[in-house]
Structure 1
């Protein structure tokens, strides 16, 4: 299954007539427990303060963002929205992830790293829990409250994730290819649980679900599709490059444990964090 697109330059809003949701009850409840992390993470709000990007154009100008084209055009009154889990790898983890990128350098192969910005600053990584969707101005607060209610009424506690593979995959439109780190299914199936909550909240606004489609079984397993994108390219990598990453040695990452204790919601350039329940 191809991946979603999520970058700021391509998550621009699309005009849509989306009604205000009426249902209030949670989608489901799920009992889980999580593992602890050896190092305390920075407060979630710290990175949120610097999540905004400066808009230099509302037109589709690929020269402003590496040749990428907007999938959803900018329309006044529409707000691009994304639900996801966010991670900031440690310096040591960042080095290990960087070693997975094609050598001698990503740029010579037409591959752009998602680990650092053009100026060398570390970028946040994430696991998507939604497609890039569009909300109207008057729906922003309602959607966030709806998702928060779903999460608070669930029993999905903070949890840890580990990687289990590397692969090149395309987005839905096959306009970009992503080098992704696959994720092992966590204890208590927490990723699928959060995906169902996100899809349920989105459905109240007539927004499409991620991975699932309307009418699919409630307990469908999408564990094979969760991922962390490490790099991207405008052209499909050749067979040699695909084979290289498929056989990459991931032993250096065998001790990597990434702990998540909140869900991020980005609406426009505003990012908020919804904590996972800890009193389960």
Structure 2
């Protein structure tokens, strides 16, 4: 089964306010304070933007590394970035709420917040899960050494310098389990439009991997994006959930007003926390 290994990346920019309040010199007398200066500060919610999401109230899941950390090695991931079209998000909101009731231990991919909690607030579900960038993997996530980075990125750029734009349809709900059965995924698979093009791109990445002594992709690749994950092998639950999703979509005659179709325009390569542009097709 296809393994989708999530990348860890975090950062914060906490700026400390070092400005000290003004003081009056000893012995100096100043005018009495105005009454307005003694009023309490406004409520915090008045200082927050209308789109503010309080992440501290959402439970997070803990993941197990897919391969051991080795000093001097960096995680490599080559992928197509995917953003879910706005017109598909309302439908996916309904689907994810239904899935959360069937499989309560799911978490949002990469964000790692509990899906059941996100589904309680449409704004949180939209912002944390559906409004983020997903990816279609073109190669295994593996560890590489620092001296391989420049060569690998250069070869990938050369391979993909003549790519053209194409459409991909994420048309089938599917479940996957990673190689060591530590995590299961609920995914949307590409089975028709876009599959030949993505399969060819996977083959091109394999050629570069092979030259660097890296393991190639799976023999029968199944391109997909993953939206949620659970600890361990929960194939039976997710298989039943995908059947329920299909019944739900058929019951609301989805085909007339819903199509999760995305435009290929870019390939990225992430090495550690650094992201390299491999190819980018202009508008």
Structure 1 and Structure 2 fold alike (TM over 0.5): yes
Deviations 1:2-21 (A, max 9, x none): 12132124xxxxxxxxxxxx
Task: Give the whole-Å Cα distance in 2 for the aligned partners of 1:100 and 1:245.
Answer: 10
Give the RMSD, CA atoms, in angstroms.
3.0
Structure 2 match to 1:230? 227
Provide the C-alpha distance between the structure 2 equivalents of 1:79 and 1:107, rounded to a whole number of angstroms. 37
Q: Is the 8 A contact 2:153 2:278 kept in 1?
A: no
Q: Conserved in 2, the CA contact under 8 Å of 1:116 and 1:123?
A: no
Equivalent residue number for residue 148 of structure 1:
157
Mapped to 2, the partners of 1:203 and 1:244 lie a distance apart of 37
Do 2:102 and 2:241's aligned partners in 1 also have CA atoms closer than 8 Å? no
> Shift of the alpha carbon at 1:113?
2.1
Q: Distance in 1 between matches of 2:176 and 2:103?
A: 20
Q: Is the 8 A contact 1:127 1:228 kept in 2?
A: yes
Runs of 5+ consecutive residues of structure 1 not aligned to the other structure:
10-51, 56-63, 213-221
Q: Please say if 1:95 is aligned against 2:90.
A: yes
User: Per the alignment, in what secondary structure is the counterpart of residue 196 of structure 1?
Assistant: helix
Specify the alignment match of 1:3 in structure 2: 2
**Alpha carbons of 1:82 and 1:241: their partners in 2 closer, same or farther (altered >3 Å)?**
closer
**How much does 1:115 deviate?**
8.3
Give how far 1:105 is off: 3.7
Say whether the 8 Å CA contact 2:175–2:235 is kept in structure 1: no
Paired residue for 2:272?
Answer: 268
Asked whether 1:202 is paired with 2:209, we answer: yes
Q: CA separation in 1, counterparts of 2:211 and 2:237?
A: 44
Asked whether the equivalents of residues 98 and 115 of structure 1 are also in contact (C-alpha less than 8 Å), the reply is: no
Q: Deviations over 1:169-196 (max 9, x none)?
A: 2111111110011113335821111001
**8 Å contact kept, 1:167–1:181:** yes
Residues 112-127 of structure 1: pairs in structure 2 closer than 5 A:
112-114=107-109, 118=113, 120-121=127-128, 122-127=131-136
Name the SS for the 1:85 alignment partner: strand
User: For residue 164 of structure 2, what is the aligned residue in structure 1?
Assistant: 157
Question: Among 166, 179, 185, which residue is 2:186 paired with?
Answer: 179
| TM-score relative to the length of structure 2 | 0.66
TM-score (norm 1): 0.67
- What is the count of residue pairs matched by the alignment? 215
Bigger relative contact order, structure 1 or 2, given CA contacts below 8 A and separation 6+? 1
After TM superposition, the structure 1 stretch with the greater mean CA deviation from structure 2, 141-150 or 106-115, is 106-115
Compute the displacement of 1:114 (Å). Answer: 2.7
Distance 2:195 2:63 in 1: 38
Cα offset for 1:235? 3.6
Structure with the higher fraction of residues in helix conformation: 2
Q: 2:198 aligns with which of 188, 191, 197?
A: 191
Checking the alignment, whether the CA contact within 8 Å between 2:266 and 2:278 is kept in structure 1 is yes
Structure 2 equivalent of residue 84 of structure 1: 79
Does the 8 Å CA contact 1:167/1:246 hold for their aligned counterparts?
no
Q: Using a 3 Å threshold, how does the CA distance of structure 1 residues 71 and 241 change in structure 2: closer, same or farther? A: closer
Q: Counterparts of 1:268 and 1:183 in 2: how far apart (Å)?
A: 27
